[in-house]
Amino acid sequence: MAKKNAKPKLAFYWASSCGGCEITVTELGMRLIEVGELVDIVFWPAAMDFKYDDVEAMADKEIDICFFNGAIRSDENEHVAHLLRAKSKLLVAFGSCSHLGGIPGLANLFDVETLLERVYDTAPSVEEASRGTIPQEVTKMPEGEINLPLLQKRVRSLAQTVDVDYFMPGCPPVVDQVWNVFQAVLAGKLPPKGSVIGAQEKTVCDVCTRKKGDRTTRIKEFKRPHEVELDPEMCFLTQGVICMGPVTRAGCGTPCLNGNMPCRGCYGPPDGVADQGAKMVSAIAALIDTDDPAVIAHIREGIIDPAGLGYRFGLAESILSELKYRK
């Protein structure tokens, strides 16, 4: 029996991720101490000494809220996702990877064999002696067997794996939004299940203060940010640099734009957009100079990696991934 007025139990987990989401939590600084006084952290592999066994030993729904970052890339990721789902009352997909597949989701552009070959065989950084040695699920060594989780054939978001209560976007979620969400959770002020939290409804353009394009905006070719001297006052699109702002949810506080770099789309698409990359294409085609029939070929040449641009954080959740991996 749970004690009355017991502190809520919190868990953090990282699946296939870079660790940036953990750092954003620690960026709470002194506020983390405040959080620590209000809750019991019962699982946080990156910061505290808990093991999977500790979680296995918990009763179902014993954790009040679990912030789960990282994509589902390996059998281990999937196992822990199911485990934490069972043990948690509320499961929050925390950060782009968990929300949409994130950067790891770009691996869906390739099959697993190609990826392993690249990483362990053909990449220039591989030492000659170990070239071609690809890790296996089971490796027999003199000291015993080494077991590694297998990579799955596709990267998935958390919601493509288990039922998720809330989604908190961002690569990583910005610290102020983390604080907002913690406060909302502790106060029990949460929107309906399935909502995106710690973000806004409209797009980055809504909060961007740069001067927008007008009827005279006509782009003949797109360039990459380092190829242009960027005007800090003007919309990036009008300067021929692709910005994901129009198809990306606001809420980040625009640190990239403030640094004079275009939005990369980490907060994911707003409600109503089914596929962020396809919508990006719809939006940027609006700017092209249609008086010049040759311009379409230029546009295509100038965008070196359209899928990487349009789906940088959302490929795993995209319709393209669904089409590729469906039976």
Partner 1 sequence: MENKAPTTFADKVRAMPGGENLDLCYSCGTCVSKCLIQQKQEPEYNPRMLLKMVMLDMEKEAYQSPTTWMCSACDLCYQSCPQEIHISSIIEAVKTLATEAGYTTPLETVTVDENKCSGCGICVMVCPYEAPHLIEKMADGEMDRFSEVDAELCMGCGICVAACPMGAIARPGVSNPEIHEQIAISPLKNTPSLIVFICDWCLRADTDTALLESYPPNVRVVHIPCSGRIDPQMALLALESGIDGVLVCGCAPGECHYKRGTYVSSCKMSLMDEMMGQMRLANGHVRFVQIGTQERGRVRHEIDDMLAVLQKEAA
- Select the span of 52-60, 96-104, 132-140, 213-221 touching partner 1 (CB under 8 A): 213-221
User: What's the rounded Cα separation, in Å, for the pair 174 and 172?
Assistant: 6
Given the complex with partner 1, which of 51 and 300 has the nearer CB atom? 300
Site for partner 1 contains 86 (CB under 8 A): no
Does 202 interact with partner 1 (rule: CB under 8 A)?
yes
Cis peptide before 191 (omega within 30 of 0): no
Quote the tokens at residue 187. 């106060």
Q: Binding to partner 1 (CB under 8 A): which residues in 1-40?
A: none
Q: How far is the CB of 305 from partner 1 (least distance, A)?
A: 7
CA atoms within 13 A on the CB side of 54: 11
Is 116 buried (19+), middle (13-18) or exposed (0-12) by CB count in 10 A?
A: middle
Q: Does 234 bind partner 1 (CB under 8 A)?
A: no
> From the list 196, 288, 313, 317, which residue makes contact with partner 1 (rule: CB under 8 A)?
288
Site for partner 1 in 87-126 (CB under 8 A): 108-109
Binder of partner 1 out of 24, 98, 239, 321 (CB under 8 A): 321
Q: Which tokens is 299 given?
A: 């546009």
Q: How many residues bind partner 1 (CB under 8 A)?
A: 53
> Which lies closer to partner 1 via its Cβ, residue 140 or residue 215?
215
Least separation in angstroms between residue 307's CB and partner 1 is 4
Distance separating alpha carbons of residues 286 and 281, to the nearest angstrom: 9
Query: What tokens does 23 get?
Result: 């750092």
Whether the Cβ atoms of residue 257 and residue 204 lie closer than 8 Å to each other: yes
CB of 107: closest distance to partner 1 in angstroms? 12
61 binds partner 1 (CB under 8 A): no
- Asked if 311 interacts with partner 1 (CB under 8 A), we say yes
Strand order in the sheet with 63-69: 40-43, 9-14, 63-69, 88-94, 166-168
Among residues 206, 227, 253, 260, which is the contact residue for partner 1, using CB under 8 A?
206
Closest CB 78 distance from partner 1, rounded Å? 23
- The residue among 159, 155, 154, 219 whose CA lies nearest residue 194 is 159
Q: Give the per-residue contact string, 239-258, with partner 1 (x = CB under 8 A; - = no).
A: ------xxx--x--------
User: Which DSSP string do the residues of 46-101 spell out, in sequence order?
Assistant: TTS---HHHHHTSPTT-EEEEEEESBEEEHHHHHHHHHHHHHEEEEEEESHHHHH-
- Distance between CA atoms of 208 and 212, rounded to whole angstroms? 9
Query: Smaller CB distance to partner 1: residue 161 or 248?
Result: 248
Binding residue for partner 1, selected from 20, 172, 198, 277, defined by CB under 8 A? 277
Q: Please identify, among the stretches 74-82, 182-190, 226-234, 304-312, the one whose residues bind partner 1 according to the rule CB under 8 A.
A: 304-312
Tell me how far apart the 2 most distant CA atoms of the chain are, in Å. 73
Tell me if 278 contacts partner 1 by CB under 8 A: yes
From the CB of residue 183, how many other CB atoms can be counted at a distance below 10 Å?
A: 14
State CA 103 to chain mean position distance: 6
Q: Output the smallest distance, CB 248 to partner 1, in A.
A: 9
Binding residues for partner 1 (CB under 8 A): 108-109, 202-206, 212-215, 217, 235, 237, 245-247, 250, 270, 272-275, 277-279, 281-288, 290, 293, 295-296, 299-300, 303, 305-308, 310-311, 319-324
